[in-house]
A and B are shown apart, each in its own frame.
Chain A
Amino acid sequence: MDQLTGFLTLSLVKAAPLIFAALGGVVCERAGILNIALEGQLTVGAFTAVVVSFVTGSPILGLAAGIAAGALCGWLLGFAATRFNVNQIVAGTGINLLALGGCAFGLTVVFGQPGASAEVHALGRSGEYALILVAFLAAAGLHVALNKTRWGLRTRAAGENPHALASASVDPRRVRVLATILGGALAGLGGAYLSIGELDLYSDGMTAGRGFIALAAVIFGRWTPLGATGASIGFGALAALQFVLQRSGIPSELMQALPYLAALAALTGITGRARAPKADGIPYTG
């Protein structure tokens, strides 16, 4: 029984950052921006949270800064994609590289050592659990907001048919930028959860591809907040299962690869027809 509780708890602990990032991905894609920079936004959120907590001694401020940094990173994608019509995929790849390099650079500058930061004041166990709760609330909130509010309608319109939105005198570009800021903020929150929620430091590569697993969760969850959350919980359970099955002889690499394989399967359509928002990834040129 204790083992089962332990496994379920660990699953949720591992799922929370995926949920945040996947929700960020859902908002962006529903608004028509393919955000493959989730990994970079997680990284920037994790790093900024640690730096601010280190400088101010307050993990709460660190958390806020992590969210803000993620939002800024999201804005960069949205701004580039709507103002200059840059290709979203190329820009997203650039932001990932920029974020990884920038944080590794910043780490050496701030902490005087490459690899990992010093230990900083973290949110602690209770803060970590509170954030897990926040992840679920965010999922429910986003579900309602996307489906029941005017903002949600506009966001979905920007992703399905931006020209219709424009004929209703709403600028799809604005809607899209807003979505990328929100999406980046959510991913930044996920990053802060990793560095000062689950742990109390930042180390290079600590996001370990979670931004890409989150992208997989978005597809597997068919671009809906609740679907993506469900997929994230499943992937979180897979991560927890790795600890349980460590000595079972099942290659850990296979377990790690499962989310990505699941995403590929979802792309082939064998898991049921899934359809991306119609204008996802296509620049709106007015």
Chain B
Amino acid sequence: MRPWVAAVGLLAIAALAMVVAGANPLLGFFALFQGSLGGPSQIAETLVQTSSLLFPSLAVAFAFRAGLFNIGAEGQLIVGGLVAGVLGVHLIAPQIIAVPILLAGGALGGAIWGSLAGILRARFGGNEVIATLMLNIIAALMANYLVVGPLHTPGAAGPETGELPVTSWLPTLLPGSRLTIALIIAILLAFLVRWVFDRTVFGYELRASGDAPDAARRAGINLPRMAFLAMSISGAMAGLGGATIVTGVLHRFNVSLSPGYGFIAIAVALVGDLDPLLIVVASFAFGMLQSGSLTMQAVAHVPKDVVSFVEGLAIVALAARRFVGTRKTAAGA
């Protein structure tokens, strides 16, 4: 399916859904637009959503390019956020030291979580799809247990840590908004990923193990090692994203810090054709949907869930894009 056909079709289905909900589609789309780009604060919020989506989307694309299906960005993001949040409440240090430590901690947490699936794949040949799906749920349960139980912050209510000290917050780009330097970090990361893929031997080996695993093996590329590294690095990116949400957006860790960024990321990565720079653009488009959907619900009375419905359809429609069918291993153990 051509992308523009898919886009027009999805818009038509979204409009139809609005009619079904008894709303005026024009008003619905207008409200979506108003809520996402209608003013400086709306644009800032859209950019917040853009950066929150960009990290896991790059993570998903990175693994996809190496022939691996990381359905676990959601769990890796949660673990990254958990590490940043738990460290952050206790860390007393100047901002210039605290913030890098928390971001690095988040990336490390995500990397470890991603590497579990990588090890399973590399060491035992276990399917990374099933592993990452299971690890998503285990991550949420573990985070819930830890912040309510052993790592509970005194005074915190519900499944979250207390508020991080101001020295642990990401510096804002626009005073009075939640827009922080996370956006810049995310965009730099996109360039970095592109550079790794296009200009380094490591990136070439990753792509080779994804596109032509048999040829790659014969050429002496260690496929299990590549699987382990790809999943760990992918997890690190998602975990870094979780850390930026904790230190930049919420200023605390909450178990439900992500409205499914790790899954929407799959749609973003596909729309962006697995190209890091196109993914930046796609993240902005999906960020608009995220930030505009509440206005759409309030003004045009369209339930905001229509957005995830359309995102799901987008994934199904775009699943036929070029990278498919390259996978030659069976599912399961």
Check B134–A101 contact: CB distance below 8 A.
Answer: no
The yes or no answer to B189 lying at the interface (CB within 8 A) is: no
Encoded as 1 (CB less than 8 Å from any B CB) or 0, chain A from 73 to 110 comes to 00010001000111101110111111111101100110
Residue from A86, A114, A278 whose CB has the most chain B CB atoms within 10 Å: A86
- Asked if B267 and A94 make an inter-chain contact with CB atoms under 8 angstroms apart, the answer reads yes
Contact A269 B137 (CB under 8 A): no
* Contact of A263 with B by CB under 8 A: yes
Q: Which residues of B contact A200 (CB under 8 A)?
A: none
Contact size range, A: 35 or more
Instruction: Report Cα–Cα, A282/B329, bound state, in Å.
Output: 8
**Inter-chain contacts of B133 with A (CB < 8 A):** 36, 212, 215
A89 proximity list for chain B (CB < 8 A): 69, 71, 129
Q: Of B212-220, B239-247, B314-322, which binds chain A?
A: B314-322
Task: Determine if B312 is an interface residue (Cβ-Cβ < 8 Å).
Answer: yes
Contacts of B318 in A (CB 8 A): 90
Contact A97-B303, Cβ < 8 Å, known A219-B130, A274-B333: no
Identify A90's interface contact among B144, B303, B319, CB under 8 A.
B319
Bound Cα distance from A282 to B327, whole angstroms: 7
Chain A residues positioned under 8 Å from B330 (CB to CB): 276-282
In the complex, B204 has a CB within 8 A of chain A: no
Give the shortest distance, in Å, between B305 (CB) and chain A (any CB). Answer: 4
Q: Interface extent on B, as a size class?
A: 35 or more
Stretch at the interface among B39-47, B120-128, B176-184, B228-236: B120-128
> Main SS of the interface on chain A?
helix
Q: Assess whether A253 is in contact with B141, with CB atoms less than 8 Å apart.
A: yes
Interface of B is mostly: helix
0 or 1 for each of A264-279: is its CB under 8 Å from B? (1 = yes): 1011110001111111
Q: Does B325 contact A (CB under 8 A)?
A: yes
Contacts of A215 in B (CB 8 A): 130, 133
For A266, what are the chain B residues with a Cβ–Cβ distance below 8 Å?
333
- B63-86 interface (Cβ within 8 A of A): 69, 71
Contact indicator A98/B316 (Cβ below 8 Å)? yes
Contact segment of A16-24, A135-143, A254-262:
A254-262
List the A side residues contacting B315 at CB < 8 Å.
90-91, 93-94, 97-98
Check if B324 is an interface residue, CB within 8 A of chain A.
Answer: yes
Residue from B22, B267, B317, B330 having most chain A Cβ neighbours under 10 A: B330
List residues of chain B with CB under 8 Å of any chain A CB.
1, 17, 20-22, 69, 71, 120, 123-124, 126-127, 129-131, 133-135, 137-138, 141-142, 144-145, 149, 260, 263-264, 266-267, 270, 303, 305-320, 323-325, 327-328, 330-333
